[in-house]
Amino acid sequence: MVQGYWRLDDWQMTPQQRLSFLKSHIDLGITTVDHADIYGDYRCETLFGQAVKLDPSVRKSIQVVSKCDIKLVSEAAPNRKINHYDTSYHHILESVDHSLKRLGVEKLDVLLLHRPDALMDADEVAEAFTTLRYHGKVAHFGVSNFTPSQFDLLQSRWDESLVTNQVEINPLRFDVIHDGTLDQLQRLQVKPMAWSCLAGGELLTGESQQAVRVRETLSAIGEELGGASIDQVIYAWVMRHPSKPLPIIGSGNIERVKAAKQAYDLKLTREQWYRIWVASKGHNVP
């Protein structure tokens, strides 16, 4: 599993509390941390870096993932008129330098392109990756929210394997299971990272017919599995796919992180997995 920090600014933690939380999930064996330059309106990486600065030794225990290419309208960019994407050579290099400074680290373990850019020049991106690798600023590269053809295009220009495609996977929205995305990653033996596994909380509190159907099914299966919580069943459902997704946990509550990790012990049958599929679709399999 991966600990996500996109809501770090909302957790209202002191730097010491952030460090304690980081050490607690490291102790659980969750050592990969997921960031992006834009999270918290460009603030979350800085907040994380403040915690690492209190005990720089923790850097040896974690794998740091960050993303770039989204440009947000923000107080940090007062002249920007619209949100847009930028995978140009200079922007990628500039974004990484800013992330390294904010995080207080010398190297990213993984850099992901955050969203597909209609103007992406794959050769230019590969040149940026080569420069970053040469200067020791990034160890590995991947993408996020890419279609199989977009993934193939960038991979055709990059001489090392892209290490992941971070995509949305949850029982309400799982198009990547059927559109070839996870088929491709399984073929390449590349594990996807799964974001929004709880559908932004909609699976727990949503009132749509779909959300209610799925929640009732998740609850019933949880009882069959010995009293597992709904979120534990969701994580188990995501991890049951043979592409071996790595769920990203978004909670800043260490007890919920502990509970999420227990999903590894849940073994959904194929029928249980498909009951959740049917509840989401609202119809039986063809």
Given the residues 5, 39, 42, 235, the one annotated as active site: 39
Cβ neighbours of residue 207 closer than 8 Å, sequence gap 6 or more:
none
Cβ neighbours of residue 249 closer than 8 Å, sequence gap 6 or more:
1, 2, 3, 4, 30, 197, 256, 257, 260
Look up 89 and say whether it is catalytic: no
Q: For 77, which DSSP code?
A: B
User: Distance between alpha carbon 181 and the CA centroid of its chain, in Å?
Assistant: 15
Q: Which two tokens stand for residue 24?
A: 């607690």
Q: How far from 269 is each of 99, 210, 237, 272, 280, CA to CA, in Å?
A: 42, 22, 10, 5, 17
Buried b (16+ CB within 10 A) or exposed e, 174-192: bebeeeebbebbeeeebeb
**Is residue 172 within 8 Å of residue 181, measured between CB atoms?**
no
Q: Please give the Cα distance from 48 to 68 (Å, whole number).
A: 17
Q: Please give the Cα distance from 157 to 174 (Å, whole number).
A: 28
Q: Which two tokens stand for residue 26?
A: 């490291």
Active-site positions read 39
